[in-house]
């Protein structure tokens, strides 16, 4: 049996309490397998951002169990969750979130800091990751000197450089024009492998449909989970 | 482990990326440390040459005077005071003088009218005085035993008096002491520990007995004693007993260099005021660091969020910001010490003092700046560490 990279078992996330209680996620179960290319789609308020926070070990569930890469992170200290996050998950955000005062290479290298990796090796791996998204030649450019599409590709390189099992992309094309969006989607699709799962969170049904598996959410629950293509 | 190196790199790149902000942060600790270093250094330097002089002169010269004796208006020491003092085992050398009063000194007979109102001290001195005081002669010779035994009317004069009397080295000059002619045989160098000698006339005891006092032999009223260094207080006490024993005279002893040492002490009051102002500047600078870094944490919340998402722990984030503050403290402190030294140098050059800067001042200045910046940086650092990545990243 293949162990899932990500597993949610009856997970709930509740904000507030009493009258103001909001069940952003309500007893959701889900497994993301190696090689999956999953999109999570839903309108705003459907719980997909909450889901992203939980899948990315940025948040802890109110109830239920989350297992990431074989490790139960439901009720562990922040430091342990941070460790699992750094080891197993790569993030891509809608707003790219590159560090503005660092050039492209240093931004990618940031993901490799505090891991006991020699500066030389860190640089080598970062350049390789930039090369993979076709931006090795712009490694010394700062974010302001790069186009939106290029910035998102740097962010992709940063997410990839640690070789994470799970790549979490939050509206990765939301701030891009259609040409750049297509380019980023193409790279994302190319990243799924037997060693990696790609999870894409979006409200854009068109983008969601380009994934291999589509999970639709509404009011904190999964309403459908369909395989679009093998 | 490469973590400290990585942290340092990140902290410095964070500071280098915001140069203007970093310069403003540096100003507080820099000005504060500079003020403190300059205050301490300048007040020390102001008395620096005196301190050097004290060290050069030695601290082991004791003056033992006849203080008071029952029914005597001008108390004197026993005639054998020098021998008595020499019995104290810690004493290395002794010399005696007798201070005279109302002896009018004139450079030549005709000048009597101009000089009879100017008090010039006249002292009977023995042959050992320059050796005990450790001074030499500008010209000529000191009073010797033959002057005493032959009851010669000879005199040695102080350097300033020689200048006033326009005395040329080697000149055959006769001065009049209360109308008696005395041959000048030498000029004494300045005595730093006894500035009054610069203007005085020294004559043999025998001549004093013949011309000025109604006693023979003349009793001394003051001893100069060199003792073994470190035994000053002990020797002072022993002298009182040894010299005063069995007589009516009280002996008061004084370590000559103490007055000078006191004068060489820095003006603590002034130093305290300026150092307080420097401390105030550092504290204000520290508040500035806390303030600017707190704002910086808010501005950089997205950066903090992404670093947290990339797996940097809260501890790492806190250390990163703390290290930025420490770097500001170290650099600001070093610049402050340099600026303070420059201020001392400028002040010392202008006033013609000796450059004095205590060895502890530079490390203490830097340490103070670092301590302040650590204190100032800890609050923003903790705030940065407490930021929730989920809140700062604004997930879609």
What average pLDDT score do residues B105-113 get? 73
pLDDT at B222 over 60: yes
Quote the domain boundaries for residue B11.
3-47+266-392
Query: What mean pLDDT comes out for the span A76-96?
Result: 93
**Maximum alpha-carbon separation in chain B:** 116
For the ranges A161-165, A222-226, B47-51, B102-106, the lowest mean pLDDT is seen at: B47-51
How many domains, in total, are found in chain B?
2
Confidence band of B385 (pLDDT split at 50, 70, 90): very high
Q: Both B94 and B25 in a single domain?
A: no
Nearest to B396 among A49, A91, A113 (CB): A49
Same domain as B333, residue B233: no
* pLDDT tens, residue by residue, A106-153: 999 999 999 989 999 999 999 999 999 999 999 999 999 999 999 999
Q: Domain check: are B197 and B121 in the same one?
A: yes
CB contacts of A53 in chain B (<8 Å) are: 390, 395
> What does the pLDDT average to over A65-74?
93
Q: Inter-chain contact A162–B311, Cβ cutoff 8 Å?
A: yes
Query: Which residues of chain B neighbour A99 with C-beta distances below 8 Å?
Result: 303, 306-307
Q: Is B14 on the interface with A (CB under 8 A)?
A: yes
Q: Which pLDDT score, from 0 to 100, does residue A227 have?
A: 93
What confidence score (pLDDT) does residue B270 get? 78
Closest partner CB to B389 (pick from A58, A95, A99) = A58
Ranges A31-40, B152-161, B225-234, B239-248: which has the least confidence = B239-248
Residue A200 banded pLDDT, cuts 50, 70, 90: very high
Architecture of domain A6-227: 3-Layer(aba) Sandwich (3.40)
Q: B 180-239 residues with CB below 8 A of A?
A: none
For range B15-29, the mean pLDDT: 88
Q: Is A21 left (phi over 0), alpha (psi -120 to 50) or beta?
A: beta
Residue B337 lies in a domain: yes
Check whether residue B272 and residue B255 sit in a common domain.
Answer: no
More confident residue, B193 or A65: A65
pLDDT for B395: 63
**Angle in degrees, 0-180, between the axes of helices A148-160 and A119-132, rounded to the nearest 10:** 130
Q: When comparing pLDDT for B47 and B134, which is higher?
A: B134
- Give the distance from residue B385's alpha carbon to the nearest chain A alpha carbon, in angstroms: 11
Distance from the Cα of B269 to chain A's closest Cα (Å) equals: 49
Domain shared by B24 and B74, yes or no? no
Q: How far lies A80's CA from each of A57, A60, A71, A76, A145, in Å?
A: 10, 12, 10, 6, 36
Q: What is the pLDDT of residue B301?
A: 92
pLDDT band at B2 (very low <50, low <70, confident <90, very high): low
**Mutation target among B16, B18, B310 for the A interface, most CBs of A within 10 A:** B310
% of residues, chain B, pLDDT over 70 = 91
- Minimal Cβ distance to A102: which of B13, B18, B309: B13
- Beta-carbon separation of A202 and B396 below 8 A: yes
* Average of per-residue pLDDT across B23-33: 90
Size of interface A-B (CB pairs under 8 A): 92
| Lowest model confidence (mean pLDDT) among A12-16, B116-120, B133-137, B270-274 | B116-120
> Least CB-CB distance to B306: which of A78, A83, A97?
A97
Asked if B8 reaches chain A (Cβ–Cβ under 8 Å), the answer is no
Q: What is the pLDDT of residue B396?
A: 52
- pLDDT tens digits for A9-64? 999 999 988 888 888 999 999 999 999 999 999 998 898 889 999 999 999 999 99
Chain A residues with CB-CB distance to B under 8 A? 49, 52-53, 56, 58-59, 78-79, 82-83, 85-87, 91, 93-95, 97-102, 106, 110-111, 113-118, 158, 162, 170-171, 174, 201-203
CB < 8 Å to B393, chain A: 58, 93, 97
> Is residue B63 domain-shared with residue B25, that is, in the same domain?
no
Q: Within an 8 Å CB–CB cutoff, is residue B350 touching chain A?
A: no
Residues of A in contact with B6 (CB under 8 A): 113-114
Residues B190 and B285 in one domain: no
Quote the tokens at residue A12: 């709930």
| Interchain proximity A82–B313, CB inside 8 Å | yes
pLDDT greater than 70 at residue B112: no
In this structure, what token pair is assigned to residue B79? 């005639």
Kindly list the residues from chain B whose CB atom is less than 8 angstroms away from the CB atom of residue A116: 1-3
Q: Are residues B354 and B340 in the same domain?
A: yes
Predicted pLDDT at B117 = 65
Domain boundary among B216, B232, B263: B263
Question: Per the domain annotation, does B373 fall within a domain?
Answer: yes
Instruction: Decide if B52 is inside a domain.
Output: no
Average pLDDT estimate for B178-201: 89
3-state secondary structure of A195: coil
Query: What chain B residue is nearest to A59 in terms of C-alpha separation?
Result: B390
Least confident of A49-58, B170-179, B332-341: B170-179
Query: Which residues does chain B have within 8 Å of residue A117's beta carbon, measured at their own beta carbons?
Result: 2
| B220 and B100 share one domain | yes
The residue from B263, B285, B306 where one domain ends is B263
pLDDT at residue B118 greater than cutoff 90: no
Domain locations in chain A as residue ranges: 6-227
Asked which of B263, B296, B320 is the last residue of a domain, the reply is: B263
The per-residue pLDDT for B194 is 85
Residue A192: band (very low, low, confident or very high) from pLDDT cuts 50, 70, 90? confident
**For residues A88-98, average pLDDT:** 93
How many residues in chain A? Answer: 230
User: pLDDT tens digit string along B239-284?
Assistant: 888 888 777 778 888 887 776 677 666 677 777 888 888 888 889 8
Average of per-residue pLDDT across B114-131: 84
**Do residues B190 and B313 share a domain?**
no
Tens digits of residue pLDDT in A153-176: 999 999 999 999 999 999 999 889
Mutate to test the interface with B, among A113, A115, A140, A152 (most CBs of B within 10 A): A113
| Domain match, B65 and B162 both | yes
User: What is the pLDDT at residue B372?
Assistant: 93
Q: Is residue B53 part of a domain?
A: no
Per CB-CB distance under 8 Å, the chain B contacts of A202 are 396
Do B212 and B292 belong together in one domain?
no
Give the closest residue to B78 by CA, choosing from B253, B330, B246, B237.
Answer: B246
Confidence band, pLDDT 50/70/90 cuts, at residue B72: low
Task: Tell me the Ramachandran region of residue B265: left when phi exceeds 0, alpha when psi lies from -120 to 50, beta otherwise.
Answer: beta
Q: What is the pTM of this model?
A: 0.70
Query: Which residue of A39, A48, A82 is the best one to mutate when testing the B interface, meaning the one whose CB has the most B CBs within 10 A?
Result: A82
Query: Looking at residue A172, what is its pLDDT?
Result: 92
- Span B31-55, mean pLDDT? 81
Task: For residue B3, give the chain A residue with the closest CA.
Answer: A114
* Chain B nearest C-alpha distance from A227 (Å): 24
pLDDT at B129: 93
Q: What is the pLDDT of residues B318-327, one digit of tens each?
A: 999 999 999 9
B301 within domain boundaries:
yes
B275 vs B183 pLDDT, higher one: B183
């Amino acid at each position: 049996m293949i162990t899932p990279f990500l597993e949610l078992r009856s997970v709930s996330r509740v904000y507030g309490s009493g009258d103001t209680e909001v069940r952003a996620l309500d007893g959701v179960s889900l497994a993301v397998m190696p090689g999956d290319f999953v999109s999570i789609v839903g309108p705003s308020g459907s719980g997909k951002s909450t889901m992203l926070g939980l899948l990315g070990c940025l948040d802890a569930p109110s109830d239920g169990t989350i297992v990431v890469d074989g490790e139960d992170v439901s009720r562990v200290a922040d430091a342990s969750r941070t460790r699992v996050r750094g080891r197993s998950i790569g993030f891509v955000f809608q707003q790219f979130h590159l560090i503005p005062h660092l050039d492209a290479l240093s931004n990618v290298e940031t993901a490799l800091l505090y891991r006991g990796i020699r500066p030389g090796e860190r640089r080598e791996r970062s350049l390789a990751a930039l090369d993979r998204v076709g931006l090795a030649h712009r490694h010394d450019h700062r974010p302001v000197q790069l186009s939106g599409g290029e910035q998102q590709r740097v962010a992709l390189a940063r997410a990839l450089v640690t070789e994470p099992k799970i790549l979490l992309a939050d509206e990765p094309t939301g701030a891009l024009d259609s040409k750049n969006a297509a380019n980023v989607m193409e790279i994302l699709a190319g990243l799924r492998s037997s060693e990696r799962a790609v999870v894409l969170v979006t409200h854009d049904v068109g983008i969601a449909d380009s994934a291999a598996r589509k999970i639709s959410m509404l009011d904190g629950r999964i309403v459908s989970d369909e395989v679009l293509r093998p | 482990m490469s973590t400290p190196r990585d942290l340092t790199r990140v902290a410095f790149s964070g500071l280098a990326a915001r140069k203007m902000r970093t310069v403003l942060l540096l100003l507080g600790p820099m000005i504060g440390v500079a003020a403190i270093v300059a205050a301490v250094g300048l007040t020390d330097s102001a008395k620096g040459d005196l301190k050097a002089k004290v060290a050069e002169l030695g601290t082991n010269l004791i003056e033992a005077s006849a203080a008071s004796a029952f029914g005597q208006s001008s108390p004197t020491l026993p005639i054998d005071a020098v021998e008595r003092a020499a019995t104290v085992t810690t004493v290395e050398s002794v010399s005696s003088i007798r201070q005279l009063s109302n002896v009018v000194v004139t450079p030549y007979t005709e000048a009597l009218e101009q000089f009879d109102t100017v008090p010039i001290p006249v002292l009977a001195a023995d042959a050992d005085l320059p050796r005990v005081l450790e001074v030499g002669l500008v010209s000529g010779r000191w009073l010797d035993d033959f002057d005493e035994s032959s009851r010669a009317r000879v005199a040695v004069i102080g350097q300033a008096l020689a200048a006033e009397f326009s005395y040329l080295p080697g000149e055959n000059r006769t001065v009049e002491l209360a109308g008696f002619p005395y041959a000048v045989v030498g000029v004494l160098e300045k005595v730093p520990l006894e500035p009054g000698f610069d203007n005085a006339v020294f004559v043999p005891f025998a001549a004093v007995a013949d011309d000025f006092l109604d006693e023979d032999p003349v009793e001394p009223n003051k001893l100069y004693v060199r003792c073994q260094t470190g035994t000053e207080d002990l020797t002072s006490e022993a002298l009182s007993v040894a010299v005063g024993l069995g007589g009516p005279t009280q002996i008061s002893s004084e370590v000559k260099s103490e007055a000078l040492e006191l004068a060489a002490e820095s003006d603590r009051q002034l130093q305290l005021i300026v150092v307080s102002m420097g401390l105030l500047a550092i504290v204000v600078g520290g508040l500035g660091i806390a303030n600017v870094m707190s704002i910086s944490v808010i501005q950089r919340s997205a950066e903090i969020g992404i670093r947290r998402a990339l797996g940097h722990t809260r501890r790492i984030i806190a250390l990163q910001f703390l290290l930025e503050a420490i770097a500001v403290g170290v650099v600001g402190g070093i610049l402050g010490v340099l600026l303070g030294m420059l201020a001392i140098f400028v002040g010392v050059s202008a006033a013609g003092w000796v450059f004095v800067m205590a060895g502890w001042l530079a490390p203490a200045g830097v340490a103070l700046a670092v301590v302040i910046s650590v204190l100032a940086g800890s609050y923003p650092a903790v705030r940065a560490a407490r930021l929730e990545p989920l809140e700062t990243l604004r997930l879609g």
